[in-house]
């Protein structure tokens, strides 16, 4: 198998579709630096399943899609396809028949990556599985990129072992071993879960066995209790029948007595109604006479009231007349007294009026003298205030200047102190000493920031990888869950179908099953399991064969002497082949010859029309049947459908086979999904650790950067603060010097102004002392004038008040006299009216007295008639009361009889209900009354039966809670235990088989690894000698365990004694790595080998040896190499140039060297 084409479109710089035609085994890819040559290597690695963007020289998987250039827009899809020539059939398995194999991968910007194999969509796992053991893969030794030479030679022993394993073809064994381990782990888990279930079932069986015994005992006791309860109910029912008849006779007697007493009560009710009517008429007459009596009495009372009213009115009028006469006498006396008071007040006003005028003149004189004294005192006060002002101003000025001098002295002292302090602080500040530290910290911070940026980029790349893996894990889990759910559903369907099939085909007769087991026939197949029916004819075949579908297929006839009579069909499998009628139903099945014999005489027709057309041509032993099972003979027709358990046996058998095939495919898919899931989980764990480590580095870098930033900022701020403080101190010192000069000048001026103010103060105090004695004289004269004026004003106010008082009283007495005259006139008028009313009251009083006497005589007559009627009513009421008492007594007797009747009726009804209830309970016991009646003579008394029943019930209660379903559950769990034991045995056997398979894989792995190690070691020594012209190189195992040992490479170039591979030069390392790779290729040649500038570190001589080795191995291996060395270019038979005439876009230029030589020579 060789690589014939590489098709690239939209991948990195190859935006336009290009095709690399690889026509020979030595193909060189040429071009200037940066034109995209290595992108071809990345494309091959990517299409073969590389999932890490880091190994593709990118930050994320989107970086493989062309991202645009100055003249081109980005594209949304990248595609790479490898075309392999498999005409020799090197690739085995299911693809060995394909002459050409296509492997393709596409990715969109949404992250959706798709794989295709020969144009069919597939999984990444399918791609990697194809190349297992071939030496090809995304990270195999067949693809040597830039820097991989040094990494290979400096690889860890475990990594170098992986390279040897790929060369030995062990990778597929390791994959199988890993799958086997997964299956063993899964089997062990299933075994543990199964053992848990078995333990649980055993515990349940122990409990259920006890519960089943208790349930059986409960059923026996319950049946005994039911029989005793029926016997007891029967005896009670018989006794209750006689009691019910006796109670019915007593009920009839009580009913007759109650009816007789009720008739007597009705007769008394009639008599009472007649008496009530007579009493009602007498009461009506009494009411009328009583109304007349009340009317006469009312007239008498009215006349008495009128007479009394006239007497009262006369008495009141006489009293009112006397009161009016007395009021007139009093009013005349009051009028005389008021006139005397008015005269006295008028006289006093006349005496006080002349005394007011002299007092008014004295007051005016006193006011004039007071005004003169106040003017004189005011003039002195103005003079005094002026002198006080002359004294206060110098005093204030002197105090102000003194305070000002003290303040200036304090300010001058403070200025001197501040100047000294500022000078001392200025000497202590040295900002230049921090400059060196600040420069060192700034440089350290810049270095740390660059490292931080690198760590952040690494963390972002790891986070992107982790997200992609997380998404892949989610998708894988979803696919696995769907597959497991589908498998569970299929297993459920398969179990149900197999159960139905077994129920339909296995015998239900226990004796027959035992006979089959004894004859070793219980595992023999049934006829339905041996049939293969053409689709659509299952119903027809089932209709014809019917019960024979369950026939047992045997190789030879068993001994049927001991077989009990039963339904059993046996079918021999060793019959001779039969020549089939092409139109018979036998041609629709593949079956044993005996079964085909049964179907040979049945013609298969498509529909009923054909059946009726063929019916007349049938012989007596022949028949025909349609697809849907309509069966016709020459003179009969059968249309029934199978109703037995065999119905649908053939369709069900086909469904079981389909489900088993589908389950096998699904198990394979689940195994692959679980393996893929494990890989993703491992990748996630590794990525999580890498992210955690990167995050820790980023956090540490952040912290260090923050600390340095803080230190730089603090130091910078400290320098700035000291510089600012120093400048501020210098400005303060200059300002303080000017301030000191100004303070001294102001202090001198304040001293001169204070002395002038003290001199002016002394002159003003002398003038004030001369004016001060005049103040006391003026104030004394003013007080005397004010007191004299107050005395005169008080005397005038007293006299004026007395005069106003007398005038007011005189006005009041005048008003009182006018009111008294008006009241006297009114009283005289009232007195005259009262005399006239008294005379009018005496006239009607005599007439009222005569009418009263006549009314009294009429009342006496009515009263006599009223008394006679009352006596009649009382007598009739007494007779009616006697009758009602008689009725009440009769009614009580009737109520007593009715109560007796109701009690008897209730007892009778109760007995009937009890009898009916006992009859219903007897019916529920399901015992016949005739049977119980026959047993009645042998039964004990009711009390003995009750004791027996209570004893049985106590026995039932002592059993406690009973699980009545325990017997069936015990049987079901016993069957389940047998099934679980069989499963446990199967799983244990499978586990042993898997362990044996793993041991076999380990033995094969050790054998292959040891063989490959020895062969590669031998070829490595030869290759090393060719490339170096001598020297020694070999591989060494790090551990005796061939399954786990690492591999180290030891090399000694000619003429050197090196203690470590790491001491070799770059060219020596490259030659050593090339020796190892070519040694591996010589052992297990991969279909092709990609070399990316492997010859770069080699000198001209070593390049020549390298080219000779390539030419030697090109007969077996296809080499595709990228080079800038002219010697290596000359080796190539096919040249592919990569150019970038358009910035950012790679294009190809291919040259066939052999054809070019032919053209040049021709």
Binding residues for ATP: 32-39
Q: How far apart are CA 30 and CA 18, in angstroms?
A: 16
What are the phi and psi torsion angles at 115 (to 5°)?
-120, 145
Q: Rounded CA gap, 252 and 533, in Å?
A: 88
Token reading at 186: 């899964």
Residues 624, 891: Cα–Cα separation, whole Å: 99
For 89, the 3-state DSSP assignment is coil
Nearest C-alpha neighbor of 601 from the set 637, 638, 631, 646: 631
The answer to whether the beta carbons of residues 682 and 425 sit under 8 Å apart is no
Place of tokens 């010097």: 737
Answer whether 461's CB lies under 8 Å from 683's CB: no
705-712: long-range contacts at Cβ-Cβ below 8 A with a sequence spacing of 24 or more?
A: 705/445, 705/448, 705/449, 705/452, 708/441, 708/444, 708/445, 708/448, 709/445, 711/441, 712/438, 712/441, 712/442, 712/445
CA proximity to 209, closest of 1106, 1147, 973:
973
Contact 1073, 153 (CB under 8 A): yes
Q: Using CA atoms in the order 1116, 1121, 1125, 1129, what is the torsion angle rounded to 10 degrees?
A: 60
C-beta of residue 303 within 8 angstroms of C-beta of residue 852: yes
Closest CA to 450 of 648, 205, 701: 701
Residues forming beta bridges with residue 602, ordered by sequence position = 623
DSSP state, residue 74: -
**SS3 for 977-1004, per residue?**
HHHHHHHHHHHHHHHHHHHHHHHHHHHH
Cα R_g (the chain), whole angstroms: 71
Q: Virtual CA dihedral for 294, 300, 306, 308, nearest 10 degrees?
A: -110
Helices vs strands, H then E, count in the chain: 22, 22
Going by C-alpha positions, the residue among 1150, 1152, 1142, 1151 that lies closest to residue 14 is: 1142
Residue 622, both tokens = 């022949």
DSSP 167-193: HHT-HHHHHHHHHHHHHHHHHHHHHHH
CA atoms of 142 and 140, how far apart (whole Å): 5
From the centroid of its chain, how far is CA 521? 60
Residues 6+ apart with CB under 8 A from 1062: 154
Which DSSP string do the residues of 508-554 spell out, in sequence order? --HHHHHHHHHTT-TTSPBHHHH-EE-TT-HHHHHHHHGGGGGPEEE
Backbone dihedral angles phi then psi of residue 279, each to the nearest 5 degrees: -65, -35
DSSP letters, 590-616, are E--HHHHHHHHTEEE-SSHHHHHHHHT
Taking the CB of residue 84, how many other CB atoms lie within 10 A of it?
Answer: 23
Q: How far apart are the first and last CA of the chain?
A: 34
Q: Which residues are part of a known binding site? A: 32-39
Q: How many CB atoms lie within 10 A of CB 110?
A: 8
């Amino acid at each position: 198998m060789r690589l014939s084409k590489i098709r690239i479109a939209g991948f990195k710089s190859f935006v336009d579709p290009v095709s690399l035609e690889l026509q020979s085994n030595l193909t060189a890819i040429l071009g200037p630096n940066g034109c995209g040559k290595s992108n071809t290597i990345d494309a091959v690695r990517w299409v073969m399943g590389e999932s890490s963007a880091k190994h593709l020289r990118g930050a994320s998987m989107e970086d493989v899609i062309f991202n645009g250039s100055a003249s081109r827009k980005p594209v949304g899809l990248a595609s790479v396809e490898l075309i392999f020539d498999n005409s020799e059939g090197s690739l085995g398995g299911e693809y060995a028949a394909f002459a050409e194999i296509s492997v393709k991968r596409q990715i969109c910007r949404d992250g959706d990556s798709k794989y295709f194999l020969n144009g069919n969509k597939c999984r990444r796992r399918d791609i990697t599985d194809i190349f297992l053991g071939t030496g090809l893969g995304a990270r195999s030794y067949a693809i040597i990129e830039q820097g991989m030479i040094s990494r290979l030679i400096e690889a860890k022993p475990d990594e170098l072992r992986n390279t040897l394993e790929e060369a030995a073809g062990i990778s597929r064994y390791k994959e199988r071993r890993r799958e086997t381990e997964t299956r063993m782990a899964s089997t062990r888990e299933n075994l543990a879960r199964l053992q848990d279930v078995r333990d649980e079932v055993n515990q349940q069986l122990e409990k259920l066995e006890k519960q089943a015994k208790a349930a059986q005992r409960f059923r026996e006791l319950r049946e005994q209790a039911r029989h005793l309860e029926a016997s007891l109910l029967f005896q009670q029912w018989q006794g209750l029948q006689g009691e019910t008849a006796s109670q019915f006779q007593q009920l009839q007697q009580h009913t007759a007595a109650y009816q007789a007493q009720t008739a007597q009560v009705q007769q008394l009710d009639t008599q009472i109604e007649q008496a009530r009517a007579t009493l009602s008429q007498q009461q009506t007459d009494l009411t009328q006479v009583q109304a007349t009596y009340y009317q006469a009495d009312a007239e008498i009372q009215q006349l008495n009231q009128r007479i009394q009213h006239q007497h009262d009115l006369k008495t009141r009028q006489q009293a009112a007349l006397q009161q009016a006469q007395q009021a007139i006498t009093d009013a005349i006396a009051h009028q005389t007294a008021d006139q005397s008071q008015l005269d006295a007040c008028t006289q006093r006003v006349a005496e006080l009026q002349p005394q007011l005028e002299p007092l008014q003149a004295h007051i005016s004189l006193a006011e004039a003298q007071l005004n003169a004294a106040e003017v004189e005192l005011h003039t002195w006060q103005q003079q005094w205030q002026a002198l006080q002002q002359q004294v206060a101003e110098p005093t204030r000025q002197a105090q102000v200047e003194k305070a000002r001098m003290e303040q200036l002295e304090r300010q001058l002292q403070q200025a001197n102190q501040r100047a000294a302090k500022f000078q001392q602080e200025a000497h202590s500040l040295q900002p230049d000493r921090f400059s060196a530290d600040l420069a060192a910290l700034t440089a350290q911070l810049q270095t740390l920031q660059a490292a931080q940026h690198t760590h952040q980029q690494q963390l972002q790349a790891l986070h992107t990888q982790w997200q992609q893996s997380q998404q892949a894990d989610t998708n894988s889990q979803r696919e696995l869950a769907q597959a497991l759910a589908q498998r569970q559903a299929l297993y459920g369907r398969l179990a149900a179908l197999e159960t139905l099939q077994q129920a339909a085909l296995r015998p239900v007769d226990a004796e027959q099953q035992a006979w089959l087991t004894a004859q070793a026939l219980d595992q023999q197949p049934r006829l339905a399991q041996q049939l293969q029916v053409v689709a659509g004819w299952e119903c027809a075949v089932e209709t014809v064969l019917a019960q024979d579908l369950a026939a047992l297929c045997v190789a030879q006839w068993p001994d049927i002497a001991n077989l009990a009579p039963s339904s059993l069909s046996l079918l021999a499998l060793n019959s001779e082949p039969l020549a089939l009628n092409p139109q018979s139903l036998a041609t629709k099945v593949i079956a044993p010859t005996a079964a085909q014999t049964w179907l040979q005489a049945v013609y298969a027709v498509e529909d009923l029309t054909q059946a009726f057309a063929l019916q007349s041509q049938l012989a007596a032993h022949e028949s025909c049947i349609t697809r849907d099972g309509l069966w016709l003979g020459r003179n009969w027709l059968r249309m029934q459908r199978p109703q037995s358990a065999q119905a649908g046996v053939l369709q069900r058998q086909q469904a079981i086979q389909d489900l088993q095939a589908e389950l096998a495919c699904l198990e394979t898919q689940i195994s692959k999904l679980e393996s893929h899931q494990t890989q993703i989980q491992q990748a996630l764990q590794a990525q999580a650790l890498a992210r955690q480590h990167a995050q820790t580095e980023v956090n540490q870098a952040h912290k260090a950067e923050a600390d340095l930033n803080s230190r730089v900022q603090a130091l910078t701020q400290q320098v700035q603060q000291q510089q600012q403080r120093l400048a501020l101190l210098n400005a303060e010192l200059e300002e303080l010097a000017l301030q000191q000069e100004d303070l001294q000048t102001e202090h001198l001026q304040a001293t001169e102004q204070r002395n002038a103010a003290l001199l002016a103060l002394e002159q003003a105090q002398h003038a004030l002392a001369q004016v001060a004695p005049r103040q006391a004289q003026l104030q004394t004269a003013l007080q005397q004038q004010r007191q004299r004026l107050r005395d005169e004003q008080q005397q005038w106010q007293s006299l004026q008040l007395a005069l106003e008082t007398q005038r007011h009283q005189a006005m009041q007495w005048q008003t009182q006299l006018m009111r008294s005259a008006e009241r006297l006139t009114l009283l005289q008028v009232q007195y005259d009216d009262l005399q006239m009313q008294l005379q009018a009251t005496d006239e009607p009083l005599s007439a009222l007295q005569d009418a009263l006497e006549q009314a009294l005589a009429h009342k006496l007559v009515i009263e006599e008639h009223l008394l006679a009627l009352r006596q009649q009513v009382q007598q009739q009421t007494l007779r009616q009361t006697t009758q009602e008492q008689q009725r009440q007594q009769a009614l009580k007797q009737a109520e007593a009889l009715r109560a007796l009747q109701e009690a008897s009726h209730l007892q009778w009804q109760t007995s009937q209900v009890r009898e009916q209830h006992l009859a219903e309970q007897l019916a529920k016991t399901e015992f016949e009354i005739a049977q119980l009646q026959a047993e009645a003579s042998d039964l004990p008394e009711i009390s003995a039966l009750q004791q027996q029943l209570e004893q049985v019930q106590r026995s039932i209660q002592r059993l406690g809670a009973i699980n009545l379903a325990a017997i069936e559950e015990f049987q079901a769990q016993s069957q389940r235990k047998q099934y679980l034991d069989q499963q446990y045995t199967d799983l244990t056997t499978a586990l042993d088989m898997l362990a044996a398979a793993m041991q076999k894989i380990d033995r094969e792995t050790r054998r292959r690894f040891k063989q490959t190690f020895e062969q590669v070691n031998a070829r490595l020594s030869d290759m090393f000698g060719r490339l170096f012209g001598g020297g020694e190189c070999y591989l060494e195992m790090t551990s005796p365990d061939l399954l786990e040992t690492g591999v180290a490479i030891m090399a000694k170039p000619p003429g050197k004694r090196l203690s470590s591979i790491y001491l070799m030069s770059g060219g020596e390392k490259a030659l050593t790595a090339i020796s190892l790779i070519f040694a591996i290729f010589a052992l297990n040649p991969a279909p092709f080998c990609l070399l990316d500038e492997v010859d770069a570190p080699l000198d001209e001589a070593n390049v020549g040896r390298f080219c000779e080795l390539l030419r030697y191995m090109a007969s077996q291996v296809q080499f595709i190499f990228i080079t800038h060395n002219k010697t290596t270019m000359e080796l190539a038979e096919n040249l592919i140039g990569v150019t970038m005439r358009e910035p950012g876009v790679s294009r190809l230029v291919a040259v066939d060297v052999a054809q070019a030589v032919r053209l040049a020579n021709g």
